[in-house]
Chains A and B, each alone.
Chain A
């Protein structure tokens, strides 16, 4: 926006050079614009069209109106995938943010070698959504995995955490919580913004550690918490790689890790059901949109802007 505004002001000052400037600007923008139109907007519009068709990838798409959407109402596997996704989002995001905030507060207290710790704690975020880590996860939580070996040292009989439908999703939640690095770094930046004098004043008034945290840190950090919450919820709804790799692409055992995105992929590429998959993609967009809007609406009641 501001770039356009600048361009506009340039136009007023130097009408002669206007065309040249514009052209240069567009030329520099063109790689990004090309990507936007050809790789993002084009396929999005195509998928919006396909959402109203029966498209099996081989024959031409056939217009069927809202049939894909009405079909979602009675698709029990889709309902299950929604349950799995919601459970994942609403368990893993709060846990992840709590861990991130806790560590940020600890690191903010001026631990020696803070830069080192910050990097170390950030590392899982860089690796977390990679295929390599998901494969590692399978090893850690497998029947003969690291976790069971550790448990056996203290005399507990482990189990196949990933192959048991009742615990498989839990391992993915742990994986997501483990990638607390990026919200942590944002929390750290937020903590730095809180003026030290508030704490000093509170200490003088006799507030303890918890008092200071709940009366000063937490309220002043709410904008940052809100920002992280929105981002992480969107991120969690879109999770795909972890579940795909950990379950071997099946969403199993027994659909217990069948995220909505994974089911979408399975429908589209595994079942030649690209029309339905496109409809699902737009449904997910709506779900994420609704949650983000609700988040913004609710923020009025708990986010405190110190200005």
Chain B
């Protein structure tokens, strides 16, 4: 708190005294809540745990917390949850106020942002956290500079989601996703648009987030980010990516610019995919469940198209859908680590959480959970399993400042779709701006 303006006279001094007295009164009136965050003599510990997500996630996570508290009567866990959009503003301010939650559900985009500034604990040094049962590849996304700052909470992969009902209505057969090329994709999507005769479109647009560009870059021997934390994609490849986007637009494979621009901001429940306006779209595999629910029909995951029609060369990789991190300023790092260990390695938590955050990275838990999955989760788990042999190297995590890339690409994609910028100009703008954000 800032000091008051220095008192210059008796009057002001009296004023300050009154002000302080009032503060004390106010403080004592609403006191009584202090000490809730620290351990007390009887060994009781309160942990704060924050996550983003919808109702389903909140319910499941609370169940997992309840089960943990039953076994650990000395630990109380307070859940703090909210929507994705407000989550990061809130996290940034609590961390700034030195009031960060002990356990944080973290996203790849912000992992380095927080870790590089010393806000996260190196989980390799945390007591009571076992990662030996994890599939080795799944750890690397949370690993850098020799430390582990985020523990994979579930695996997903970027994919195409298809609505079989819309395909059927249009009289188009579901494609063979192991051999299709980008040209096939555009052709099929355009055919769908034509046959739907104004009732919908073949596909959503790639480029409404950075994942499609990353896969495009990986298919062409580049990558969105490099291992040493730089932008890895060239202006030429971004240009080619946008030229392909325009090709899709000219073929009417994707909706109008206005429609896409509106869809970017739509919530999942109101997105074109959920309302059956598009037959295909670009999604993260663990969203299959939520999207199927919203669409009211069982949707299907397909592999991302490739340049040569070989799905093993489509650049796909296992991504950590989200991560568990522990605040470096947590007063109860050991207890927090034990709780993260429980979330990741215990069958109790596994059986409650299932695959809502993506397929469990712990192979034993995955085997345990597999038979219990609901159809949509089972389908996404199977998809993850199926593509396992085709995957390339894991994709490097975004560097500090890289979290901005989603907003940046959305903006340039909009510019290109509205014809306000040519692909090469937008590509250069994209590269310059992303580089400007990296620190």
Contacts and interface: CB of A to CB of B under 8 A. Distances in A.
A34 B265 contact: no
A160 B411 CA distance: 17
Nearest to A144: B262
B299 interface: no
B85 A165 contact: no
Interface in A238-258: 247-250, 252-255
A117 B190 CA distance: 54
B254 to A, nearest CB: 14
A252 B264 contact: yes
Given A23-B18, A59-B118, A271-B404, A252 B414 contact: yes
Nearest to A75: B436
B117 A255 contact: no
Contacts of B265: 247-248, 250, 252
A37 B119 contact: no
A42 B1 contact: yes
B22 A31 contact: yes
B350 to A, nearest CB: 33
Interface in A141-167: 142-143, 159-160, 162-165
A160 to B, nearest CB: 3
Most chain B CB inside 10 Å of its own CB: which residue of A34, A142, A272: A272
Given A58-B117, A252-B414, A143 B259 contact: yes
Nearest to B92: A57
Contacts of A42: 1-2
A303 B113 CA distance: 54
A120 interface: no
B95 A269 contact: no
A160 B117 contact: no
Interface residues of A, number: 40
Given A56-B117, A252-B410, A30 B22 contact: yes
A35 B154 CA distance: 46
A248 B267 CA distance: 10
A163 B420 contact: no
A253 B5 CA distance: 45
Given A38-B1, A165-B414, A27 B18 contact: yes
Given A30-B18, A255-B411, A271-B404, A162 B23 contact: no
B410 A160 contact: no
A206 interface: no
Interface string B8-40: 000100110011001100000000000000000
A159 B256 CA distance: 10
A269 to B, nearest CB: 4
A6 to B, nearest CB: 14
A17 interface: no
A74 B260 CA distance: 31
B258 A254 contact: no
Given A56-B117, A58-B119, A163 B261 contact: yes
For the residues of A in contact with B, the DSSP-based class is: loop
A33 interface: yes
Contacts of A272: 92, 113
Contact of A26 (B15, B256, B260): B15
B415 interface: yes
Contacts of B95: 57-58
Nearest to A59: B117
A162 B1 CA distance: 42
Most chain B CB inside 10 Å of its own CB: which residue of A22, A45, A254: A254
A163 B114 contact: no
B14 A26 contact: yes
B176 interface: no
Contacts of A27: 18, 22
B418 A37 contact: no
A73 interface: no
A270 interface: yes
A88 B219 CA distance: 44
A60 B1 CA distance: 15
B88 interface: yes
A47 to B, nearest CB: 11
Contacts of B14: 22-23, 26
Contacts of B15: 26, 30, 33
A159 B113 CA distance: 39
Interface in A250-303: 250, 252-255, 269-272, 274
A244 B404 CA distance: 17
Nearest to A160: B258
B407 interface: yes
B25 to A, nearest CB: 10
B367 interface: no
Interface in A162-214: 162-165
Given A26-B18, A57-B93, A254 B23 contact: no
A10 to B, nearest CB: 13
B262 A162 contact: yes
Given A160-B261, A269-B92, 10 more contacts: A26-B14, A42-B2, A57-B95, A143-B258, A160-B256, A163-B260, A248-B264, A253-B261, A254-B411, A269-B88
9 contacts: A30-B15, A30-B19, A38-B1, A57-B92, A57-B93, A143-B259, A250-B410, A252-B265, A254-B418
Interface of A: 22-23, 26-27, 30-31, 33-34, 37-38, 41-43, 45-46, 56-59, 142-143, 159-160, 162-165, 247-250, 252-255, 269-272, 274
